């Protein structure tokens, strides 16, 4: 969130608009259900913006942000953070116009109705994780009201045509809800569509490529199903390969995907393969400042690299290593085998993929991958750190063997070019360790071994490629 709050200044004006009438019952929903998720500061901001709109009106008069700062006794940065939390939870939409002097419009969205909130897979799980089981049940009971089941009754309600008749046809029906010339609108009830589904973050093309048409017909992937898949993937941190297993478990006898079965299958998969504890909601506004894509430069980058390897999916790591090219079906099947047949953690698989690509000149050879995987399984490698250490050790042995072989056949191979292999950033830690161990020797450039020279060249070429890739990404996206 570095300097993002600077997009709004205390002198900038804003207006508040309601997306339909809000009711007093909405305050209870906001405080009891939403406040544990977004925090008291965000709900205070929502309430203050709501109060600025007069009764039976939909818009407020313009006022500058300095007034808002004084009313909340807060900085512009804290108010901006409270605002984006409301936006992320679907309670606020922000619009802006103008150049140097901006004008903002904050459109308040109503909270979900209690039944919709508890039926939402993300909101209900995050609230449960935040407040605990007993308080969750207590909150749920707070909104429960008696409602008799009507299955034993027979409806005898008359229709409109049974009661009324029209004397003549109405040739033209006037617009009763909106006067377009005056830009006015009759009061209407507000509706919240829930948390927006981010389809861009989930690759459905990759998912469908791995799903057999015989097992899951394409017509079963309806819009509500796609929306639920995207939400569950975001909730439980599941990638396209993992979601394939979840979806196949939710297909019923009619070759349709049952929404409730899909939710249960995703939860069971998460608890079986990742954690028995349900995921907890956390803000990512500050994470982008703390962790950037590893550049391989400066000190202390190993923690950043470990974070990347732990958080990224094997599909994404392989895609990054291939300059954005999607993995083939055989490569996806190989990754799936590593995850579910070998039972290797996702982060360990990421290290293994990078290590094999180095050793095989960027070729993902199945036999060699399985050989290394079996070795790591027997060695009980379960963390990214232990996998990296083992990979460094194996690589050093490989380079020593390669150097011995080269020296033994020096005359026969003196005219051949040495193959330059690409290295991931974390391999540079080996060189740093070697420098520390040999610092007392203070070797000069003339005493460096051929292995050191080759390692330097590999690191230089790899880092140059990373910097170029990062620069191109910044030019395409505006920011990284």
CATH of the domain at 18: 1.10.10
Question: Going residue by residue through the chain (480 aa), what tens digit of pLDDT does each one get?
Answer: 445 667 888 888 999 999 888 888 899 999 999 999 999 999 999 999 999 998 778 899 999 998 998 899 888 888 999 999 999 999 999 999 987 788 999 999 999 999 889 988 889 889 998 998 899 999 999 988 887 888 888 888 887 777 876 554 444 445 544 554 555 555 455 666 666 666 666 777 777 777 777 678 888 888 888 888 888 888 788 888 888 888 888 888 888 888 888 888 888 888 887 777 777 666 655 544 444 444 433 334 677 778 788 877 788 888 888 887 877 878 877 887 787 778 888 888 889 888 888 877 788 888 888 888 888 888 888 888 888 888 888 777 767 666 666 666 544 444 555 555 555 555 655 555 555 555 544 444 445 555 556 666 666 666 666 666 666 655 555 443
Structural domain contains residue 143: no
Same domain, 92 and 11: yes
Domain end marker among 61, 86, 115: 115
Same domain, 265 and 310: no
Span between the terminal Cα atoms of the chain, in Å: 12
Predicted structure pTM score = 0.49
Structural domain contains residue 362: yes
Helix boundaries (H) for 89-155:
114-119, 121-131, 133-142
Same domain, 452 and 342: yes
Same domain, 323 and 256: no
Domain end marker among 71, 88, 115: 115
Tokens 């400066």, residue located: 298
Structural domain contains residue 163: no
Same domain, 310 and 369: yes
Report the pLDDT value the prediction gives residue 86, as an integer from 0 to 100: 94
Structural domain contains residue 440: yes
Question: Which residue(s) pair with 179 in the sheet?
Answer: 184
Same domain, 307 and 267: no
**What is the span of the domain harbouring residue 51?**
4-115
Tokens of 21: 């009438």
Domain end marker among 67, 98, 115: 115
Same domain, 315 and 405: yes
- Phi/psi at 106 (nearest 5 deg)? -100, 110
Same domain, 268 and 332: no
Same domain, 306 and 366: yes
Nearest alpha-carbon partner for 211 in 251, 262, 162: 251
CB 321 within 8 A of CB 357: yes
| Total domains present in the chain | 3
Structural domain contains residue 142: no
CA–CA separation, 87 and 97 (whole Å): 18
Structural domain contains residue 417: yes
Same domain, 442 and 338: yes
Question: Which DSSP category does 58 fall into?
Answer: S
Same domain, 266 and 313: no
């Amino acid at each position: 969130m570095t300097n993002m709050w600077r997009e709004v200044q205390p002198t900038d004006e804003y207006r508040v608009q309601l997306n339909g009438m809000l009711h007093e019952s909405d305050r209870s929903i906001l405080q009891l259900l939403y406040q544990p998720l977004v925090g008291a500061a965000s709900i205070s901001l929502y309430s203050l913006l709501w109060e600025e709109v007069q009764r039976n009106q939909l818009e407020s008069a313009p006022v500058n942000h300095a007034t808002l700062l004084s009313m909340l006794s807060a900085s512009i940065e804290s108010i901006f953070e409270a605002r984006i939390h409301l936006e992320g939870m679907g309670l606020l939409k922000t619009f802006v116009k103008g150049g140097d002097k901006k004008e903002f419009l904050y459109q308040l969205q109503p909270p979900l109705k209690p039944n919709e909130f508890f039926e939402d897979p993300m909101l209900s799980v995050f609230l449960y994780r935040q407040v605990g089981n007993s308080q969750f049940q207590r909150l749920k009971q707070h909104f429960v009201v008696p409602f008799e089941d009507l299955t034993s009754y027979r409806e005898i309600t008359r229709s409109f045509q049974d009661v009324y008749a029209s004397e003549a046809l109405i040739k033209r029906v006037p617009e009763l809800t909106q006067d377009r010339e005056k830009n006015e609108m009759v009061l209407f009830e507000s509706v919240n569509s829930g948390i927006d589904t981010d389809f861009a973050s989930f690759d459905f093309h990759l998912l469908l490529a791995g799903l057999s048409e015989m097992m899951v017909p394409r017509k079963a992937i309806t819009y509500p199903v796609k929306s639920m898949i995207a939400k569950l993937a975001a909730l439980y941190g599941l990638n396209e390969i993992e979601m394939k297993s979840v979806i196949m478990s939710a297909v019923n006898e009619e070759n349709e995907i049952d929404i409730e079965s899909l939710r249960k299958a995703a939860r069971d998969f998460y608890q079986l393969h990742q954690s028995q504890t349900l995921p907890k909601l956390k803000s990512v506004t500050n994470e982008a400042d703390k962790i950037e894509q590893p550049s391989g430069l400066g000190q202390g980058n190993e923690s950043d690299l470990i974070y990347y390897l732990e958080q990224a999916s094997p599909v994404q790591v392989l895609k990054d290593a291939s300059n954005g090219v999607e993995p083939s079906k055989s490569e996806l099947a190989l990754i799936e085998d590593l995850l579910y047949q070998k039972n290797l953690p996702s982060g360990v698989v990421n290290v293994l993929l990078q290590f094999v690509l180095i050793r095989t000149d960027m070729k993902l050879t199945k036999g060699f991958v399985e050989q290394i995987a079996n070795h790591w399984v027997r060695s009980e490698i379960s963390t990214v750190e232990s996998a990296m250490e083992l990979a460094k050790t194996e690589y050093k042995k490989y380079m020593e063997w390669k150097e011995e072989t080269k020296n033994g056949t020096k005359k026969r191979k003196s005219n051949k070019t040495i193959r330059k292999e690409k290295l991931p950033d974390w391999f540079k830690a080996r060189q740093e360790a070697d420098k520390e161990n040999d610092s007392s020797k203070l070797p000069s450039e003339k005493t460096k071994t051929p292995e050191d020279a080759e390692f330097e060249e590999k690191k230089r070429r790899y880092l140059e490629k990373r910097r170029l890739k990062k620069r191109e990404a910044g030019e395409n996206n505006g920011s990284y």
